[in-house]
Amino acid sequence: MLANKLNPKIFEKDVEMKAIRDGYGDGLLIAGEANPDIVVLCADLTESTRSQKFAEKFPKRFFELGVAEQNLAAVAAGLGVSGKIPFISSYATFSPGRNWEQIRTTIAYNDSNVKIAGHHAGIMTGPDGATHEATEDVAIMRTLPNMRVFVPCDWIEAKKATIAAAKLWGPTYIRFAREKSPVVTTEKTPFTPGKAEILWQSKKPQALIVASGVLVHNALLAARELENEKIGTVVLNLHTIKPIDEEKIASLAQKCGAAVSVEEHQIYGGIGSAVAEVLAKNHPVPQEFIGMQDTFGESGNPWDLVKKYGMDAKDIRHAVKKVLRRK
């Protein structure tokens, strides 16, 4: 059964499509309006990382650094320890990819109040190819002490995560996808940082599906099809990867007895790994991992790539059946 307050058209063919990155732009405007200490920095990708509206509305609080992501991170670190709340954006392969050490030392270790927006994350970046498809960003960010990590599932949640990041103290990473994707939530869907949300709950769940980001929709499609095959599941939207909602994941795993993690990211070190850590520590159950299986992506149509790399609803369904056999 779908949870309340979700988009009622979630399973319709004409479900509204909008890019997750759009939520960053809208969130920045709202946060910037509310707090004059918010500043936005960009590295020659102002429009495609959706910082343009903020730049136009608050030109004095917007800084263009050119193609220089290491400088982007470290300048923001300086602003962040001087009373400002900097948001920095680039493609995730460059920030937090290229400038990881600057983020580690000058932002995380310094505990500087910087918000890092990693755009064009995941293989659904599409035609640009693997150089521009960040599939490791969650792993390299969640391993940093002091770092909070959000992976919103649609543009509305992305807006909420951006606003929450502005209000919460501390270094924060938010992951955004480029391509238009189905709108899963509504303005009324609860979003509490650190609390995973149940989006689908069967009466007698046999498997827990923990999903993040753009693939949450596929997880819901899979859950509905499984229900028709009389296989009950719970779908948990893990929008906060860190701090992770240990309690909810562990208790649901205990109830279901098996888990499948779903991420548009490398399975080594990412969301599946984070879930496995929680399970191993609290309540070990068999787990299957949907995600990039230790391979780079490539150019192509985003939805074709999701199929080719085994992250479609059908693949999630198969993974659930497989994990049930391992119970």
Partner 1 sequence: MLEPLHEKKLKFLEEKANQIREDLIETLLEAGSGHSAGPLGMTDIFTALYFHILNHHPRNPNWEDRDRLVLSNGHICPVRYVAMAHAGYFPIEELKTLRKINSRLQGHPHRTALPGVETTSGPLGSGLSQSVGMALAGKLDNKKYKVFCLMSDGEHNSGNLWEAAMFAGKNKLNNLIGVIDRNNIQIDGFTEEIMPIEPLKEKYEAFNWHVIEVDGHNIEAFVDAVNEAHAIYEKPTVIIAHTIPGKGVSFMENDYTWHGKPPDKEEAKKALSELRTLGGKIESEHK
Q: Which residues are known to be catalytic?
A: 69
**Smaller CB distance to ligand TPP: residue 131 or 254?**
131
Q: Which is nearer to partner 1, 93 or 185 (CB)?
A: 93
Backbone angles phi, psi at 199, to 5 degrees: -105, -20
How far CA 115 is from CA of 24, 28, 53, 91, 141, in Å, comes to 11, 11, 18, 14, 12
209 CA to centre of own chain? 16
Is residue 67 within the footprint of ligand TPP (CB under 6 A)?
Answer: yes
Minimum Å distance from CB 93 to partner 1? 6
Residue 168 binds to partner 1 (criterion: CB under 8 A)? no
φ, ψ for residue 260 (rounded to 5)?
A: -130, 130
**DSSP reduced 3-state for 280:** helix
Q: How many residues sit close enough to partner 1 to count as binding (CB under 8 A)?
A: 32
Q: How many residues does the chain have?
A: 327
- The one-letter amino acid code at 297 reads G
128 contributes a contact to ligand TPP by CB under 6 A: no
Residue 160 as a binder of partner 1 (CB under 8 A): the answer is no
- Considering only residues 308 through 327, tell me which ones interact with partner 1, judged by CB under 8 A: 308
User: Does the footprint of ligand TPP cover residue 100 (CB under 6 A)?
Assistant: no
Torsion region of 237: left, alpha or beta (phi above 0 gives left; psi -120 to 50 gives alpha): beta
Select the residue interacting with partner 1 from 22, 37, 111, 128 (CB under 8 A): 128
Start-end of H helices in 105-209: 137-142, 155-167
In terms of CB distance, is 130 or 198 closer to ligand TPP? 130
Q: Which of 5, 22, 37, 44 binds ligand TPP (CB under 6 A)?
A: 44
Q: How far is the CB of 52 from ligand TPP (least distance, A)?
A: 14
State yes or no: residue 168 binds ligand TPP (CB under 6 A). no
Query: Is the CB of 7 or the CB of 102 nearer to partner 1?
Result: 102
Q: Is 293 in the site for partner 1 (CB under 8 A)?
A: no
Task: Name the residue nearer to partner 1 (CB basis): 35 or 131.
Answer: 131
Burial class (CB in 10 A: 0-12, 13-18, 19+), 201: middle
Verify binding: residue 33, partner 1, rule CB under 8 A: no
Distance between CA atoms of residues 176 and 325, nearest Å:
35
47 is a site residue for ligand TPP (CB under 6 A):
no
316 Cβ neighbours under 8 A, 6+ residues apart: 209, 218, 219, 221, 222, 260, 262, 290
d(CA 240, CA 221): 21
Q: Which residues bind ligand TPP (CB under 6 A)?
A: 44-45, 67, 69, 94, 98
Q: Which residues bind partner 1 (CB under 8 A)?
A: 42, 44-48, 64-71, 93-94, 97-98, 126-132, 298-301, 304-305, 308
